[in-house]
Structure 1
Amino acid sequence: MKVIQENTERLRRLVLEGNGSALMRLSLFLAIIVLVGLIVLAAATLVDIALRAFSSYTVRGLFELSGLFMAIIIAGLMSLVFLQRRNIRVDVMRKVAGDNQLGVQLICALSEVVVFVGLAVVLGFRAWDAYEYGEKTMVVGWSTTGLWVTACVVMSIGALLAVIRHIAQWGRLFATKAYAVPGFWRSLSVIIGAFALAALLLVLYLNEDTSPSTQAGIGFLALYILIAAQVPIGVALALLGVASLALTLGAEQALVIAQNEVGRALTSIDMAAIPLFLLMGNFATWAGLSGDIFKAGTALVGSTRGGLAIASVSGCGGFGAISGSSIATTATFGKVAFAEMEKRNYAHSLAAGCIAAGGTLGALIPPSVVLIVYCVVVEESIQVAFQAALLPGLLALSMYVIAIMIAVRLKPELAPNVDKFDWPYARKALIQAWRPTLLFLLVLGGLYGGIFTTQEAASVGAILAFFFAVTSPDFTWVKFKESLIDTAINSGAIYVIFMGANIFASFMSFSDVASLILDLVNLETTPHWLILLALVLIYLLLGTVFDTLAAVLVTTPLVVPLILGMGYDLIWWGVVTLSLVEIGMITPPLGMNVFVMRSVVGERLELATIFRGVVPFLLADLVRITLLVCFPIITLWLPSLLSS
């Protein structure tokens, strides 16, 4: 049996990957070139900030040109995401398709290629519109046609690489006769059946005889069918958005809407902060800032019982504010802190559990990538949202610390006896942590002080982290390239979901999804607390299965009408939503952070051990969510104070 599985896996890898090194090198080269351009753009932003601060001059037209340059940069990242098939997906129906997933993966790859080619075509039409209407920038009067043509060409090169690679995959399928391997036709039938069912629902119900609210419901049902069948979330959103618009408004109108939404997403200055913050996090990781944070925390609280666990959670919170990613924070501190706690005879459950739980702070404590996307979608201020998330983030951190202190008091065997506090060592460790301290002060201080916009704060952070990285003795150009590649993949995957969500949301707006939701839930007769409780439970469940960003984007069009109908603040709900899906990442049986932690420590720990270790933190989370939901002032107090 094991031999058969190994042969099946070998054939699957051969069909999907083959010898695509040349195509992959081209996509890597393209991504690295545009990300170097992103660093240059961040440096130009830094110059603009300095000129504003110390003179009456500024970099003329930089703000509006930045959006157009970002379109080129993001277009260059896409090939890496699509060629490596790193778009975010959910494998809910994996068991239905069977062990041999080749059929599912081939059809999903085909859907990705279709969307990628569609994006290139849409950009081509956007460039033609810029030429036909003589579009120019308002400040410097440059023609935008050349920039849109460049973005289209860059995207088209990536799409061509993806097409060539996919054709080669089908060629290898027939050459190796991998279709004869048991399970192939079963998986192929499942994925084709999912597409057929979704298409049938759209054709039958998206017509003038169907009410808009029913159309919206059918659209979401078809979407969840494709997502459950492992179609990448952004790809499913884009395909169904365009198809639904074409059936209800006509093909030409669907193309115009797709063109507008893709162009708006690529040139969004608010979204431009995402690759910059991700770049900052990657450079900070390679510069060793996570180690500085952990050493400082250990020196300060290491003399307390459970001090290393407290330092790990605090370090996760601090590093999460730099990286903005729960998974990255868990993986980084899993390497830095777990071995140290194991060496000091901490119980494995506490050591692994506190890191997995602490990693969830990465998406909540500002600057948060997911919160940026949420604010762009609901059209709320990112700066205000960051202000609102600070106290809930600190509350989460404080409650995790309290959970550790209670756990080691109730079960002393979880943590060893401690040494006496060493002030000279603590002072030295704090001094050595000057780099992350300076990064926090500049980025967060500039944001909360109103000195920087979100994009400017991200630029300052990226350039400063880049300086720390290149001046670090352990940094190499290989690490520099790896930082760029990781940024390219994560940024590109986020943009794919965002563009797909924008297109699908356009269909939802025409279908009046708000009326559908308000028809289903009568706000006048249903107690608001019951609605909030139902939403809390739904998001906790979604967080165990969905990526954080995907959970927020897929559900926001459905939930926002309810929140507005009940008279609640969207900023408050965004923070609550983010907290809920992050809690889901450590909730059994599918907590994503727990699996990340398991991959870091390897076979030494059972999953049950790590899940047992996160129990105290889950209890703390339940108390925190209760406080956030019952007392919105915790979230809204700081923004109101700063605004006044």
Structure 2
Amino acid sequence: MQADLHAYRERISLVLNGTGRWIDQLSKFSAILSLVALILLSLATLLDILLRSFSSHGVRGLFELNGLFMAIIISGFLSLVFIQRRNIRVDIMSSVAGTNQLGVALISTLSEALMMVGLTTVLGFRAWDAYQYKETTIVVGVSTTGFWVCAFSIMLFSTFLIVGRSAAQWARLLLTKAYTQQGFWRGLGVMLIAFIISACLVFEFLSGDYSVGLQASIVFLSLYILIAAQVPIGISLALLGILSLSLLLGSESAFVIAQNETARALTSIDMAAIPLFLLMGNFATWAGLSGDIFNAGTSLVGSRRGGLAMASVMGCGGFGAICGSSIATTATFGKVAFAEMEKRNYAHSLAAGCIAAGGTLGALLPPSVVLIVYCVVVEVSIRDAFQAALLPGLFAMIMYIIAIMITVRIKPELTPTIEKFDWIIARKAMLQAWRPIILFILVLGGLYGGVFTTQEAASVGAVLALAFALMTKGFGWEKFKLSLVDTAINSGAIYIIFIGANIFAGFMSFSDVASLILGFVNIDTTPHWIILLCLVIFYLLLGTVFDTLAAVLVTTPLVVPLILGMDYDLIWWGVVTLSLVEIGMITPPLGMNVFVMRSVVGERLQLSSIFKGVTPFLLADLIRIGLLVSFPIISLWLPKILNS
């Protein structure tokens, strides 16, 4: 039986990977070159900041050139997401497709190849437009044609790799007869049926004389069918967006919209902060900043009952403010803190629960990657949103610490006896934490103080974290490459969803979904607290099954008209939304952070024990959400003070 299972896995691996190692290496090489270029661009930004600080001039024209350079850089690392099959997807219907997911993977790679062909095509026409209209930058008058041609050429090469690999996978499927494996046709059938149903619904209702409301509802239904069937979320958004726009406005107009939205996403300076902050997080991890933060927290509160659990939450908050990712924070502190608490005889459920819950602070405390994307989509200030998220993030941390204090008071057997506080050890640990302290002061202080833009703060953080990593013993070329590759994969997955969401938003704009929603939910007669309560419940449920970024991007265009119609602040709602979907990451039965924690601790702990451990934190979260929704001033007070 074991031999048959091994042969089965080997055959699937052969079909999906086969002799594609050279394709992997080329994609990684392209991604590494792109991220090295991003670091050099960060150094140029740092030079610009220094020149502005000590003279009246900076690097002339750098700001407008940054966007064009970013288009080239993103084109260089985008292919790695497709080659590694790391596009964000939801596996709601994985059980329906069966245990043999080969057919699902093959259809997914076909859809990804189709999107890459589309992206390359629109970039080619964007380069042609730049040449035809002799586009130049405003400040220095540099022709933009060369930049777009370079981005197009890189994307074209990547498309050849991805399309070639997809063709090779289908060829190996036939040669190895892997289609004879049990369950293959079931998985393939589920994917094909999802595509057929979605296409038939869209063609039928958008080609006919139906109301705008019904047409929009059908498109959203088709979107959720594809997402549920495990088609990558960004691909689903882009394909349905293009198809719907073509049926509404014609193929030429749909193509122009796709071209404009793709170019806007690739050249967005605000979005450029995302790969930079992710780079900062990766370098900070290798530099051991998570250990510095945890040791400092332990030295301060470790002598209290439950002190290590409190230190873990504080450490998760501090490290989350560096890396901006819930999953990365949970995985990092799962390794750093769990073993330490286990050594001190902490109950496994409390140890794992506090880390899984503390990891959610990673996406809430600035700089938050998801909050950046939200701000770009709804067109509000990223700096104001970061300011608004700071107090709620600190509030969440305090609520978690209070939850630990109450839990260990009720059940003292969960923690060991209290140790004596040692001020000498505490002072030494605080001094050793000078690196994360400097990083916080420069990045967040400069951002909140108005010294840096978001992209400049991210550049400073990435360069400084790299400097710390280079000073760390054991950090060499291999770890540097791993940092770049990980950043490329995560950044590329975000950009794919963002581009797809922008194209899909074009359809929603032309179909006037905002008026439809406001007509469906009468905000003049329905009490606002009922609408907000329904939204809170909706996001709590959505967060259990959707990736945080996907949940925000897919639902924001639907919810924002309601928030504006009720005359609420979009920045406040962004903080509330982020808080809600992050709570979903520790909510049974599918809390993502709980599964990450389970993978870190291995067989030592069951999922049920971790869910039991996060229960006090979920109760604290519900109280916190109630206060955030009831009193928007918690979020809006700091931006108001700083901006005045």
Bin the TM-score by the shorter chain.
Answer: over 0.9
1:603 matches 2:603? yes
Q: How far, CA to CA, are the matches of 2:144 and 2:133 in structure 1?
A: 10
Which segments of 5 or more consecutive residues in structure 2 lack a partner in the other structure?
A: none
Using the TM superposition, give the Cα deviation of residue 104 of structure 1 relative to its aligned residue in structure 2, in angstroms. 1.0
4+ residue runs of structure 1 moved beyond 6 angstroms?
A: none
- Show the 5 A alignment for 1:61-76: 61-76=61-76
Match of 2:519 in 1: 519
Using the TM superposition, give the Cα deviation of residue 2 of structure 1 relative to its aligned residue in structure 2, in angstroms. 5.3
Q: How far, CA to CA, are the matches of 1:559 and 1:10 in structure 2?
A: 45
Match of 1:483 in 2: 483
Match of 2:103 in 1: 103
1:398 matches 2:394? no
Using the TM superposition, give the Cα deviation of residue 518 of structure 1 relative to its aligned residue in structure 2, in angstroms. 1.5
Match of 1:467 in 2: 467
1:30 matches 2:37? no
Q: How far, CA to CA, are the matches of 2:474 and 2:429 in structure 1?
A: 19
Match of 2:568 in 1: 568
Report Cα offsets for 1:366-398 as digits up to 9, x if no partner.
000000000000000000000000000000000
Q: Give aligned pairs, total.
A: 644
Q: How far, CA to CA, are the matches of 1:373 and 1:518 in structure 2?
A: 24
Question: Counterpart of 1:421 in 2: which secondary structure?
Answer: coil
Any conservation in 2 of the 1:579–1:625 contact (CA below 8 Å)? yes
1:253 matches 2:240? no
1:160 matches 2:197? no
Q: How far, CA to CA, are the matches of 2:101 and 2:450 in structure 1?
A: 50
State the one-letter code of the partner of 2:597.
Answer: M
- Show the 5 A alignment for 1:135-534: 135-207=135-207, 209-534=209-534
Q: How far, CA to CA, are the matches of 2:371 and 2:457 in structure 1?
A: 15
Using the TM superposition, give the Cα deviation of residue 207 of structure 1 relative to its aligned residue in structure 2, in angstroms. 2.7
Using the TM superposition, give the Cα deviation of residue 476 of structure 1 relative to its aligned residue in structure 2, in angstroms. 1.5
1:639 matches 2:630? no
Report Cα offsets for 1:574-608 as digits up to 9, x if no partner.
00000000000000000000000000000110000
Question: Counterpart of 1:530 in 2: which secondary structure?
Answer: helix
Q: How far, CA to CA, are the matches of 1:98 and 1:516 in structure 2?
A: 38
Report Cα offsets for 1:11-39 as digits up to 9, x if no partner.
22111111211111000000000100000
Matched-pair identity in %:
73
Using the TM superposition, give the Cα deviation of residue 452 of structure 1 relative to its aligned residue in structure 2, in angstroms. 0.4
TM-score with structure 1 setting the length: 0.99
Using the TM superposition, give the Cα deviation of residue 211 of structure 1 relative to its aligned residue in structure 2, in angstroms. 2.2
Question: Counterpart of 1:492 in 2: which secondary structure?
Answer: helix
Question: Counterpart of 1:474 in 2: which secondary structure?
Answer: coil
Question: Counterpart of 1:245 in 2: which secondary structure?
Answer: helix
Q: How far, CA to CA, are the matches of 2:568 and 2:5 in structure 1?
A: 53
State the one-letter code of the partner of 1:88.
Answer: I
Q: How far, CA to CA, are the matches of 2:642 and 2:457 in structure 1?
A: 18
State the one-letter code of the partner of 2:295.
Answer: K
State the one-letter code of the partner of 1:553.
Answer: L
Report Cα offsets for 1:97-120 as digits up to 9, x if no partner.
111111111001100010011111
Using the TM superposition, give the Cα deviation of residue 517 of structure 1 relative to its aligned residue in structure 2, in angstroms. 1.0
Q: How far, CA to CA, are the matches of 1:352 and 1:13 in structure 2?
A: 33
TM-score with structure 2 setting the length: 0.99
State the one-letter code of the partner of 1:605.
Answer: L
More divergent stretch after superposition (212-221 vs 245-254): 212-221
State the one-letter code of the partner of 1:367.
Answer: P
Q: How far, CA to CA, are the matches of 1:482 and 1:418 in structure 2?
A: 40
State the one-letter code of the partner of 1:140.
Answer: V
Pairwise CA RMSD: 0.8
Using the TM superposition, give the Cα deviation of residue 55 of structure 1 relative to its aligned residue in structure 2, in angstroms. 1.0
- Show the 5 A alignment for 1:12-51: 12-51=12-51
Q: How far, CA to CA, are the matches of 1:157 and 1:546 in structure 2?
A: 32
Question: Counterpart of 1:634 in 2: which secondary structure?
Answer: helix
Q: How far, CA to CA, are the matches of 2:343 and 2:306 in structure 1?
A: 14
1:544 matches 2:544? yes
State the one-letter code of the partner of 2:384.
Answer: V
Match of 1:118 in 2: 118
Using the TM superposition, give the Cα deviation of residue 75 of structure 1 relative to its aligned residue in structure 2, in angstroms. 0.4
Any conservation in 2 of the 1:208–1:248 contact (CA below 8 Å)? no
Match of 1:580 in 2: 580
Q: How far, CA to CA, are the matches of 2:618 and 2:452 in structure 1?
A: 36
Match of 1:86 in 2: 86
Using the TM superposition, give the Cα deviation of residue 79 of structure 1 relative to its aligned residue in structure 2, in angstroms. 1.0
